[in-house]
């Protein structure tokens, strides 16, 4: 029998990923938040607390909500003029054609919505295209979800074709975890569906160097060979990648696979994710440790998506401060300060 994606507590127990005595608590988590572990990811898990298991296996800690945590941690609702669209910045818009993912990351910032709805209907999708078509200020469309690479190549092609035909849309950016968690889905047909005369970028979500398996690397290579620029997105996660050596290995591996690390996201205030969140001070110290020691290509921007919908803001360390009205004081990568006029 072909291995299937694991979704229920009983399946996780049967696969040996969760001990039988924890089945009851895991069932409660499964009722609250969607769970999915692809066979590819299941094969990488060495235990509930290893960096892969921690990201994908449900944990009773998810049932604890801290007072500062929210159902809508980055304020998407305020900027959702119609179903499937989030329009926060003037020049770009998020298009969410579906709310389904191949896996459900336990720290997901959209965990209250993903895994609960399906895909936009043909009529809803047409309305979303209409919204974008009528707004010449929209320069870029970010196709997200859920995970758009779960759509069939035929449906992906329709989306690319519709968007590329709008004269003001210059860039189409897909955000996906499929190349890492279900690499065999990146077929020749899927890659071909992304072809357009406009720039098509693919941003790949990866958090730990062990996710970059041989299969994941070849999935990325298929995209890169088709001329698609690849970006990396990483979430800073306690117990997964919150040490300089892991981040260094991850970013070096991504760059060597032709994936440019774009953002390192500070973990959002999604409900039941406190066990993953570092402090901003810890994040800044990690970024500082990479600067100067690791190639500039391997340095993503450390960003916080402000609660309330105020947008993404770089929150990395600052190396320049005013000394007096005439002079700046600039810290070099070794931590030594220099005067600059």
Which residues are marked as active site?
A: 88-89, 92, 101, 105, 108, 110, 268, 305, 312
* Per-residue x/- track, 134-153, ligand PLP (CB under 6 A): --------x-----------
Q: Give the shortest CB-251-to-ligand PLP separation in angstroms.
A: 17
The yes or no reply on residue 83 touching ligand PLP (CB under 6 A) is: no
CB half-sphere exposure, 145, CA atoms < 13 A: 30
CB half-sphere exposure, 30, CA atoms < 13 A: 19
**Helices 122-133 and 153-164, axial angle in degrees (round to 10):** 20
Nearer to ligand PLP, 53 or 300 (CB): 300
Nearer to ligand SF4, 40 or 110 (CB): 110
Residues in binding contact with ligand SF4, number by CB under 6 A = 9
Match 């690390």 to its residue by tokens.
Answer: 261
Beta bridge pairs of residue 174: 143, 202
Cα separations in angstroms, 100 against 94, 177, 195, 208: 16, 12, 23, 22
Match 């295209």 to its residue by tokens.
Answer: 129
Which SS3 state, helix, strand or coil, does residue 265 take?
Answer: strand
Single out the residue of 9, 13, 34, 94 in contact with ligand PLP (rule: CB under 6 A): 94
Nearer to ligand PLP, 59 or 268 (CB): 268
Which listed option, ligand SF4, ligand PLP, none, makes contact with residue 7 (CB within 5 to 8 Å by class)?
none
What is the C-alpha to C-alpha distance for residues 316 and 284, in angstroms, rounded to an integer?
A: 5
Specify whether the CB–CB gap between 90 and 137 falls below 8 A: yes
Q: What angle do CA 249, 200, 202 make, to 5 degrees?
A: 25
**Segment contacting ligand PLP by CB under 6 A, of 82-90, 155-163, 177-185, 245-253:** 82-90
For 278: left if phi > 0, alpha if psi spans -120 to 50, otherwise beta; the answer is beta
Q: Give the shortest CB-77-to-ligand PLP separation in angstroms.
A: 11
The yes or no reply on residue 89 touching ligand PLP (CB under 6 A) is: yes
Which listed option, ligand PLP, ligand SF4, none, makes contact with residue 108 (CB within 5 to 8 Å by class)?
ligand SF4
Name, in order, each residue with C-beta under 8 angstroms of 245's C-beta and a sequence gap of 6 or more.
Answer: none
Nearer to ligand SF4, 104 or 201 (CB): 104
Nearer to ligand SF4, 179 or 283 (CB): 179
Q: Give the shortest CB-170-to-ligand PLP separation in angstroms.
A: 13
What is the C-alpha to C-alpha distance for residues 121 and 107, in angstroms, rounded to an integer?
A: 28
Which listed option, ligand PLP, ligand SF4, none, makes contact with residue 92 (CB within 5 to 8 Å by class)?
ligand PLP
Token output for 193: 């569906």
Nearer to ligand PLP, 23 or 312 (CB): 312
Beta bridge pairs of residue 94: 86, 142
Q: Give the shortest CB-34-to-ligand SF4 separation in angstroms.
A: 8
Residues binding ligand SF4 (CB under 6 A):
101, 104-105, 108, 110, 114, 147, 177, 205
Residues binding ligand PLP (CB under 6 A):
86, 88-89, 92, 94, 142, 312
């Amino acid at each position: 029998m072909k291995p299937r994606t694991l979704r229920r507590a009983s399946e996780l127990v049967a696969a040996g990923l969760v001990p039988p005595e924890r089945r009851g608590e895991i069932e409660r988590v499964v009722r609250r938040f969607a769970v999915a572990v692809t066979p590819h990811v299941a094969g990488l898990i060495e235990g509930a607390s290893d960096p892969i298991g921690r990201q994908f296996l449900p944990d009773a800690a998810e049932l604890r909500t801290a007072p500062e945590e929210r159902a809508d941690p980055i304020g998407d609702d305020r900027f959702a003029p119609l179903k499937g669209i989030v329009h926060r910045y003037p020049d770009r818009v998020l298009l969410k054609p579906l709310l389904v993912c191949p896996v459900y990351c336990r720290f997901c910032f959209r965990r209250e919505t993903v895994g609960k709805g399906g895909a936009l209907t043909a009529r809803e999708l047409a309305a979303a295209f209409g919204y974008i078509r009528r707004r010449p200020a929209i320069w870029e469309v970010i196709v997200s979800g859920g995970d758009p690479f779960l759509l069939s190549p035929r449906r992906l092609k329709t989306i690319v074709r519709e968007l590329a035909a709008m004269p003001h849309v210059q860039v189409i950016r897909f955000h996906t975890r499929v190349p890492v968690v279900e690499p065999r889905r990146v077929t020749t047909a899927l890659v071909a569906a992304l072809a357009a005369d406009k720039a098509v970028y693919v941003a790949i979500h990866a958090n730990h160097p062990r996710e970059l398996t041989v299969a994941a690397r070849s999935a990325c290579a298929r995209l890169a060979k088709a001329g698609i620029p690849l970006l990396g997105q990483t979430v800073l996660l306690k117990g997964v990648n919150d040490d300089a050596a892991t981040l260094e290995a991850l970013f070096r591996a991504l760059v060597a696979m032709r994936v440019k690390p774009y953002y390192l996201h500070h973990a959002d205030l999604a409900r039941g994710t406190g066990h993953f969140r570092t402090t901003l001070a810890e994040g800044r110290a990690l970024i500082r440790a990479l600067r100067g020691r690791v190639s500039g290509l391997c340095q993503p921007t450390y960003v916080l998506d402000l609660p309330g919908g105020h947008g993404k803001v770089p929150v990395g360390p600052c190396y320049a401060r005013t000394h007096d009205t005439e002079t700046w004081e600039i810290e070099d990568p070794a931590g030594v300060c220099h005067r600059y006029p």
